[in-house]
Amino acid sequence: MNSTERVRNLLLGKPVDRQPLYGWVSANLKGQITERWGSVAAFEDKYEFDMAHIFDGPLAFSKSMLARIREENDGEVPPDVLLENDCYHSVDNPAAWDRMKRSIEHHKQRGRFCYVQTPGFFECFNDAFGIENHLMYLLMYPDEIAALYARHVDWVKRYAEHCVAAGADMVHISDDWGAQKDLMFSPEIWKEMIYPNMKKVVDHIHSLGVFASLHSDGCIAKIADGIVDIGFDMVHPWQENAGMSHELYLEKYADKFAILGGICVQSAIGILERKDLEKEIRRVFANLKGKRWVCCTSHFVQNHCTVEDLEFAYDLAYRLARE
């Protein structure tokens, strides 16, 4: 069973030969890892990562056009003005996908399951509005925001089509909804504004013959049933230290979708002494091993984590995944 087969089986709730392993390690530690290992790829090969998180597609909005709108509107991007302007980058520019194709080819040579980062709704429009303004606009300009989200559906669907054409096994929609203790908006706003648009995107992804996953930091327990209804196959990170307990997942959702995560960058790796880090990783494996879980970091490992601590964590996780 290679890594792609292993992760596919896990997503489908079928038996696997061992727990899959992955980690978001490169964003902040690329220099340290390269100095020690020669490259991030060498680190990934050493620990036989089963997945690859691919970025490399085009950004949604033209920064120059957003800058012009801000200049003309006292530093803000009003929803009605954004609605009047087409600020999107073309999703059909072949050059925008060349690096993604090369990345997927590299990982497929190693048998890995490849998933591609894709812009969501709330998170993506934060780039245009700023998060504080966006939260206000959801209440102040609901019609305009609804129209912008509806227009965004078509762009994301086309984006997903290119990801699949490049060889992706799963389209990963990043759309942070949670704060540390609750949603950043009411469940009612989520249900009205985000749910129907996300449902259209995920249905389209499934029609292309691949899986769909969600990244949302924070506490999203109040809309977890809606995540099931949308049809997501995997959720990252299922953030335990934000009120998303393993017990909640195992009791209500383990037969509905898989989870990716378990090694917390907020409270464990790069923070705990090694004896406590070992205890924490063993606890997570005791809770989740044998379930629909891929062992991974909860987010990018932060730069206060040393390479030695990173190696310690992955030496342990590597062994536990195979015991």
Tokens standing for residue 222: 């109040």
**Local structure of 292: helix, strand or coil:** coil
List 119's β-bridge partners, or say none.
174
Name the residue among 237, 247, 316, 311 with its Cα closest to residue 281. 316
Rounded to 5°, the CA angle 169-228-292 comes to 55
Strand 258-263 to 170-174 pairing: unpaired
Given this model, what pLDDT does residue 56 score? 85
Given this model, what pLDDT does residue 96 score? 81
CB 212 within 8 A of CB 162: no
- For residue range 240-291, list pLDDT tens digits in order: 999 999 999 999 999 999 999 999 999 999 999 999 999 999 999 999 999 9
- List, as one string, the DSSP characters of 20-40: -B----HHHHHHHHHHHHSSH
Given this model, what pLDDT does residue 164 score? 97
Instruction: Tokens 């200049």: give the residue.
Output: 71
CB 313 within 8 A of CB 21: no
- For residue range 182-230, list pLDDT tens digits in order: 999 999 999 999 999 999 999 999 999 999 999 999 999 999 999 999 9
DSSP type of residue 235? E
Number of residues that this document lists for the chain: 323
Residues 240, 128: Cα–Cα separation, whole Å:
30
Average pLDDT over the chain reads 96
- For residue range 97-118, list pLDDT tens digits in order: 999 999 999 999 999 999 999 9
The domain made up of 3-322 is a member of CATH 3.20.20.210: yes
Tokens standing for residue 114: 């490849």
Residue 203 identity: D
List phi, psi (to 5°) of 310: -60, -45
| DSSP element (H, E) containing 206 | helix 195-207
Name the residue among 250, 236, 242, 255 with its Cα closest to residue 300. 236
- What is the residue extent of each domain of the chain? 3-322
CB 85 within 8 A of CB 62: no
Q: Please indicate whether residue 174 or residue 95 has the higher confidence score (pLDDT).
A: 174
List phi, psi (to 5°) of 32: -65, -45
CA of 145: how far to CAs of 151, 260, 262, 300, in Å?
Answer: 10, 30, 34, 30
